[in-house]
Amino acid sequence: MKISELSYQRNAADLFSWVADEPWSMFLDSGYPDIDKGRYDFIVSRPAITLETYGDTTYINDNNSKTTSTADPLLLLQQYLGNSNNNLSGLPFCGGAVGYLAYDLGRRLETLPASAVKDIDMPEMAVGIYDWSLIVDHHLRRTWLSSFGRFEKTALIWQELQDLFAKPATKNTNEFFVTSDIKSNLSRAQYGLAFDSVKKYIHDGDCYQVNLSQRFSADFVGDSWAAYRRLRTLNPAPFAAYLNLPAGAVLSSSPERFLSVTGNQVETKPIKGTMRRSVFAYEDKALAACLLENEKDRAENLMIVDLLRNDISKSCDAGSVVVPQLFALETYATVHHLVSTIAGRLQKGKHALDLLRGCFPGGSVTGAPKLRAMEIIEELEPHRRSVYCGSIIRIGFDGDMDSNICIRTLIQYADKIYFNAGGGIVWDSQVDAEYKECFAKAEAMLTLLKR
């Protein structure tokens, strides 16, 4: 391994700005200093290998040799990650895979109908294999450039990378503009009809919960990185990310961890249950207390806890799956959330991607039972979800993984910007409350685009 320490910068976004314009540059953002528990930020760029999946075909760019494959995308990703290396540095993620798995990659794992319109032509999987990572540790206030040294080119550009990230920050003068009204793909009346359909499916015994969302869009010009920098101040989040890809950009301010693997320890932290915040401290405290005591939200959360316990059990040792925390309150810039924690021990011989396969897409953004909920989502939502409700992942060459659920996430594609907001519908749900919840979750993104 190769490790070089660089000078610490409190705002890692300033470091990323040096590569923000380069395709395949990615910034995994912990939300520090606005999120107390935010610790590590990661920056990667200039991948050795890229994999992009469209439909049945994955396009692989391996050192300027371009090939295609119809093999399972997750198996291809595991193949290009190669055998796991021991990480003796004590640092997390010194290189490996970073990218996203779109919600619609689920079509390679399950048989689903195809009725929703696909109008965002982003890959179902876009992942780079990176031989180096810039790690910013905000607790120790230290920064390292790190690499497992799997590719010869890394040693040749090592000094160049050190010099690049040692440069002093400059003011970002780029701008972005929204040049149209923000439109939803579901009117209030259309949302009500979709809501009623979900309630009928629940009544008929098809499902217990369905995550129903609406999609917002607007015309967009300018710099998506400038838009992300603004978003991270409006809605700092512990699993945020900015991904600059050839097809478009992903701007995520997600508060939700999907799956993490550290050694053989597995964790998932589903969010179910949301309450708006208030600018008045006494009312905000009362709203949080109301969420903690809300029987409907607790039942909704428990359904997804049961689903995820079952999902992670496919790859964990028998008897190791536990729920150390139920219904914890987490508070963010615009909402309060109910969050539960589920943990387990990865089976010997299993890879983090085996765990991911057994759980994807996340149950908190589909419903229960998962497959039937996904079929209903396809029927009732007018457009495919694309990256929304998929997952941004990092998997190290040491086998460790962390990932988010792509909620509070915008997609900049061509001359438009898109984002979804939704929530889980259960038998006790009320249509007006659920419709308002969509806008509570969308508040930061609506504010970003309106400004």
Structure tokens that stand for 340 in this block: 């539960």
- Asked, as a colleague might, if the bond just before 361 is cis with ω within 30 of 0, I would say yes
Element (H, E) at 438: helix 431-450
Catalytic member of 124, 256, 300, 375: 256
Here the tokens at position 426 are: 């259960």
CB atoms within 10 A of CB 75: 13
Give kind and range of the element (H or E) at residue 229. helix 224-234
Runs of H (alpha helix) within 315-430: 352-359, 370-380
| CA distance linking residue 38 with residue 27, whole number of Å | 14
Around Cβ 283, how many Cβ atoms within 10 Å? 12
Running DSSP on this structure, what letter comes out for residue 171?
-
For residue 451, CA distances in Å to 251, 285, 439, 440 come to 16, 28, 16, 17
Determine the number of helices (DSSP H) and then strands (DSSP E) in the chain.
Answer: 10, 25
Structure token pair of residue 314: 């496919």
Q: CA torsion angle for 19, 20, 23, 25 (degrees, to 10)?
A: 70
Residue at token pair 């207390």: 289
> Rounded to whole angstroms, what are the CA distances from 288 to 74, 334, 441?
40, 12, 15
Tokens of residue 434, six digits:
């659920």
Strand boundaries in 193-290, DSSP class E: 209-222, 239-244, 248-254, 257-262, 265-268, 271-276
Among 269, 272, 370, 441, the one annotated catalytic: 272
Sequence length of the chain is 451
Query: Distance from first CA to last CA of the chain, Å, rounded?
Result: 45
* Angle between the N-to-C axes of helices 352-359 and 73-81, in degrees from 0 to 180, rounded to the nearest 10: 160
Is 272 one of the annotated active-site residues of the chain? yes
State residue 141 phi and psi, 5-degree precision: 55, 55
Bridge partners of 212, per DSSP, are 423
Q: Which two tokens stand for residue 390?
A: 């998929």
Cα–Cα distances (Å) from 388 to 37, 43, 181, in that order, read: 25, 22, 21
Sign of CA dihedral 357, 104, 438, 177: positive
Active site residues: 256, 272
